[in-house]
Amino acid sequence: MDTQHVVDLGDLGDRLIRDPHPVYARLREQGPVHRVRLPGWDDPAWLIVGYDEARAALADLRLAKDTSKIGVTVLDQEMIGKHLLATDPPQHTRLRGLVTRAFTMRRVEQLRPRIQQITDELLDEMLPAGRADLIGSLAYPLPITVICELLGVPAMDRAEFRTLSNEVVAPTSEQTEYEAVVRLGAYLTELIEDKGRSGPTDDLLSDLIRTTAEDGDRLSAQELRGMAFLLLIAGHETTVNLIGNGVHALLTHPDQLAALRSDMSLLDGAIEEMLRYDGPVHTATYRFAAESLEIAGAAIGRGDHVVISLTAAAHDDERYADPHRFDIRRDTRGHLAFGHGIHYCLGAPLARLEARTALATLLNRAPGLTLDGTPGAWLPGLLIRGMRSLPVRW
């Protein structure tokens, strides 16, 4: 493999966002690691498109997350604060330990009846019309309501928050991204200060404020803001697109939809296949080489950016036979939709619970569910994979 050749992905236009799998398949034919120029990036980066290499890289601590080590500042870290996706051990170990004391499996399980109630209320409102945009009517409002209630965020302007959140994960310009981060930072600072003054309440953010380790360690105000930012954004954006992409996969594969309707015990496996087939995270978040290393013959220098494509890894035919086929009975074990290693998604159990509740209830209450026109454009950028709208009828 010629590791010096740089593939300019900007030359592909919107193909990498609209239909990435043929692009990645052609790259994989030449090797699992490529030197590329990403749209909007000034410097080349290394792109990993092979499953085995992606899984190993996700767990390789030589690929670091704290950009301050190489003198680089990232907008959300500078304006908001450090969080789990922007730190390495031992800081990451400390932060995750404090967060997992409050964000427990027991807390997630306690949300089950409320998630069902919210789903039912959204469908009560949606179903009488006979048609709707599934993203705006169910896939977005369910997880944003759940995460706001979980964190103890007051009933805010959800439409405005959606705009700000979309600008953070799929920015339309550097200016709008900057403005969104500034506004979210100011909102979260005020929210945390209010909770600190108001006394104990039974929500996750209040618990994070109070949480103390055995040695007396606690989250600082900046760390609290960073964690609230991460939990709010990551806590709903991925689930929105898990539900949206998953329903889209079912509706474009009627044989699989029919199989699921006839045997709803296949639902858990279907959700894992949705995560593999068209997962909500296109590429893992920012990493760089803290030291020189080699991946599949590619000599990666210290400070080089490394981008791990979860979408590409999920369609590697060395790992999954006939990977472009959507098959709800497939053995999906080992898929990387929630990452791997120390940065494995803390909210994976909550995302699965919300998706399972939404899909089971939707399929039960909307017989004849089908597409009602062309889905909206895919979100820009290479972080989140999802559609702006999904018109359906029943």
Cβ-in-10-Å burial (0-12, 13-18, 19+) of 96 comes to middle
Q: Give the ranges where the chain is alpha helix by DSSP (H).
A: 15-18, 20-30, 51-58, 75-79, 91-102, 105-110, 112-126, 134, 141-151, 158-169, 174-198, 204-210, 221-251, 254-262, 267-278, 310-314, 348-365
pLDDT at 76: 62
pLDDT at 195: 84
* 264 within 8 A of 159, measured Cβ to Cβ: no
Percent of the chain past pLDDT 90, that is, above it, reads 64
Q: Is 126 helix (H, G, I), strand (E, B) or coil?
A: helix
Higher pLDDT, 266 or 183: 266
Residue 221 pLDDT greater than 80, yes or no: yes
Q: What pLDDT, in 10s, does the model give residues 55-89?
A: 999 999 999 999 877 777 666 666 777 888 889 99
Q: Say which residues have a Cβ less than 8 Å from residue 330's Cβ, sequence separation at least 6.
A: 269, 273, 276, 320
214 token code pair: 């055995």
pLDDT at 389: 97
pLDDT at 171: 83
Q: Helix/strand/coil (H, E, C) string of 190-212?
A: HHHHHHHHHCCCCCHHHHHHHCC
pLDDT at 50: 98
pLDDT at 73: 66
Sign of CA dihedral 74, 78, 79, 85: positive
Lowest mean pLDDT among 46-50, 83-87, 155-159: 155-159
Residue-averaged pLDDT of the chain: 91
Name all domains of the chain by residue range, CATH numbers in brackets. 6-393 (1.10.630.10)
Torsion of CA 326, 313, 331, 274, to 10 degrees: -40
pLDDT at 74: 65
pLDDT at 1: 43
Residue 220 pLDDT greater than 60, yes or no: yes
Q: How far is CA 176 from CA 42, 50, 114, 166, 236, in A?
A: 19, 34, 34, 10, 20
For the full predicted model, state whether its pTM sits above 0.85. yes
Residue with tokens 């369910």: 142
d(CA 21, CA 243): 20
Higher pLDDT, 103 or 259: 259
Going by pLDDT thresholds of 50, 70 and 90, the confidence category of residue 4 is low
Q: What pLDDT, in 10s, does the model give residues 85-111?
A: 889 999 999 999 988 988 889 999 999
d(CA 319, CA 333): 10
d(CA 311, CA 212): 38
Closest CA to 287 of 90, 82, 78, 69: 69
pLDDT at 213: 63
Q: What are the φ and ψ backbone dihedral angles of 46, each rounded to 5 degrees?
A: -95, 130
Q: What pLDDT, in 10s, does the model give residues 166-179?
A: 788 888 888 888 88
Q: What pLDDT, in 10s, does the model give residues 115-156?
A: 999 999 999 999 999 999 999 999 999 999 998 888 888 766
pLDDT at 2: 44
Q: Which segment, 68-77, 102-111, 189-198, 225-234, is predicted with the most confidence on average?
A: 102-111
d(CA 331, CA 333): 6
Q: Is 46 helix (H, G, I), strand (E, B) or coil?
A: strand
Question: Edge to edge, what strands does the sheet with 391-393 contain?
Answer: 131-133, 391-393, 370-371
Q: What pLDDT, in 10s, does the model give residues 290-349?
A: 999 999 999 999 999 999 999 999 999 999 999 999 999 999 999 999 999 999 999 999
Q: How far is CA 149 from the centre of its chain?
A: 19
pLDDT at 190: 85
